[in-house]
């Protein structure tokens, strides 16, 4: 299995960490921090100015510094078949 990892920044310490992506959509990114029994899931949502994604893990804020438009472009580039709408 090829898991996608992204770099997020912890705002309190300005440290960057790699996290594993569970699901990625323009309106929400679900990530996992840590490994094994000590892992923690987090949901990142776009900020008000739509320049980044923000979420909270155990009281600490983490930021993914890409806009929803950039994330959607990444998704379209990886799998162009998802881009086409499936109407019924």
32 is a domain residue: yes
pLDDT tier for residue 3 given thresholds of 50, 70 and 90:
confident
- Measured CA to CA, the distance from residue 41 to residue 34 in angstroms comes to 9
Q: Is residue 23 part of a domain?
A: yes
Q: Per the domain annotation, does 52 fall within a domain?
A: yes
pTM for this entry = 0.84
Range of the domain at 39: 5-83
* Residue 39 in domain: yes
Query: 47 lies in a domain?
Result: yes
Is 55's pLDDT higher than 70?
Answer: yes
pLDDT number for residue 2: 78
Q: Is residue 10 part of a domain?
A: yes
How many structural domains are present in the chain?
1
| pLDDT tens digits along 60-72 | 999 999 999 999 9
**Average pLDDT score over the chain:** 90
3-state secondary structure of 2: coil
In a domain, residue 88? The reply is: no
Burial class (CB in 10 A: 0-12, 13-18, 19+), 45: exposed
Considering the domain boundaries, does residue 20 fall inside one?
yes
């Amino acid at each position: 299995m090829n898991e996608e990892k992204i770099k997020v920044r912890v705002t309190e310490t300005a440290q960057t960490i790699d996290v594993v992506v569970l699901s990625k959509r323009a309106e929400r990114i679900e990530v996992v921090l840590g490994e094994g029994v000590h892992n923690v899931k987090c949901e990142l949502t776009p900020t008000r100015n739509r320049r980044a994604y923000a979420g909270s893990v155990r009281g600490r804020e983490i930021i993914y510094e890409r806009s929803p438009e950039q994330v959607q472009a990444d998704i379209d580039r990886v799998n162009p078949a998802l881009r086409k709408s499936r109407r019924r």
